[in-house]
A and B are shown apart, each in its own frame.
Chain A
Amino acid sequence: MSTDTSSSMSTTYIVYGVILAIAVIQVVVALTLGPSLGRMLILAVIQAYLAVMFFMHLRDEKSNLRLALIPATLFVLVMLNMVWADSFRLITMKPFAK
C-alpha cells in the first residue's frame, strides 16, 4: 500500500514538473520562434491531457466513464471550429479588403 502511494506520488511530481516545463517551453518558443497557433495548441493539449489523466485521475476511472465523457466533449469542441471559414471570409470582403 505504502509502495503504491509513494509510486503514485512520484508520478504526480513528475507530471507536475512536466506541465510546468511545457509552460516554460511554450513561452521560450513564443519568444524565440514566434507564437505559432499550431505549436501553442499542441503544447496546450499535451498539458491538458496530463492534467485530466493524472491530476483528475480519469485514467483510474472505468473506461465507461472515459467513453461517456471524452468523445462527446471532443465532438462539441471540434464542431465549434466550423466558424473559421466565415471569420476569414469577413476580412477578405469589403470594406477591409485591400
Chain B
Amino acid sequence: MSEANLTLQHDALAGVMEESPFSIPSSKLVMWLFIISDACTFGAVLVAYGYIRNSAADWPLVFESASIWNALLMTFILVSSSLTVLFAVRAAQADDRQGAFRWTMITAAGGVLFALLHIREWMSLIGQGVRLFQNPWGSPMFGAAFFSVTGLHMAHVIGGVIALVVVGTGYKAGRYASKHIEIWSLYWHFVDLVWMFVVPLIYLLNMKR
C-alpha cells in the first residue's frame, strides 16, 4: 500500500481514533522504544564488565597511549558522522533527495572507517595474545569483557551502516519518505552515544599507568 493511500486512510480515521499522545509517527516511537531497550542492554553489558573487573584481583591495564589516541580518533569520526546524518535529515526534510542520499552515504562511510579502525585495534590485541579467555597479562576475563562490549557496539555500527545504505538509496529512488531518514538518524546518534560511555569505561580506565 502506498504512503499516499495510508495518509488518506489516516485522515479518514482522524475523527474516529484518538490522537497520539506523543505527536510523532508510530515508526518513530518504535525506534525510540528500541533505543531505550538497547540502552538497557548496553547498560547491562557495561555493568557486567564492571562486575568482572571489580571482582578480579589481577585485572590488566593494557592500553598504551597509541590506543587511547586511536579511540579519540574513532570518537571524532563517529561524532562527525552524527553531524553528517543531521545534514542528511535536513536535506530530506527539504525534499532534496540527491543531497540526502549524499549525506547518508558520507555517514555510512564514516561508519565503515570507524569499523576498520576498530578491527585494526582488535587485530593488534589479538596479535599480542589476547583471546576470549586468556591473555598474557592477568585476569583471563579481560578479553571476554573487551570483545563483548566493543563487539556489541561494532555490530550496531555495521547494522547502522547497512540500514543507512538501504534507506539512503531507497529514499533517492522514492521508495522511502524523509521520516525514514530521520528515524534511522536517531539510531545512528544512539550508536554514537553508546561510544561516549565505551571510551572512558573500556579504554581510559584500562590504560597503562
Contact residues in A for B204 (Cβ distance below 8 Å)? 26-27, 30, 35, 40
Q: Size class of B's contact patch?
A: 35 or more
Contact residues in B for A3 (Cβ distance below 8 Å)? none
Closest chain A residue to B44, Cβ basis: A80
The number of residues on chain A lying at the interface, defined by a beta carbon within 8 Å of a beta carbon of chain B, is 46
The answer on a CB contact under 8 Å between B79 and A20 is yes
Contact residues in A for B207 (Cβ distance below 8 Å)? 30-31, 35
Chain A 54-75: CB-based contact to B (< 8 A → 1; otherwise 0): 0110000110110011001100
The answer on a CB contact under 8 Å between A35 and B200 is yes
Instruction: Taking A35-B207, A61-B23 as given, write out 13 further A-B residue pairs in contact, using a Cβ cutoff of 8 Å, ordered by the A residue number.
Output: A16-B80, A20-B75, A23-B199, A41-B200, A44-B199, A47-B193, A52-B189, A55-B82, A62-B22, A64-B21, A65-B29, A84-B51, A88-B54
Chain B 175-209: CB-based contact to A (< 8 A → 1; otherwise 0): 00000000000100110110011011100110101
Binding site for A on B (CB under 8 A): 21-24, 29, 32, 36, 39-40, 43-44, 47, 50-52, 54-57, 65, 68-69, 71-72, 75-76, 79-80, 82-83, 86, 90, 186, 189-190, 192-193, 196-197, 199-201, 204-205, 207, 209
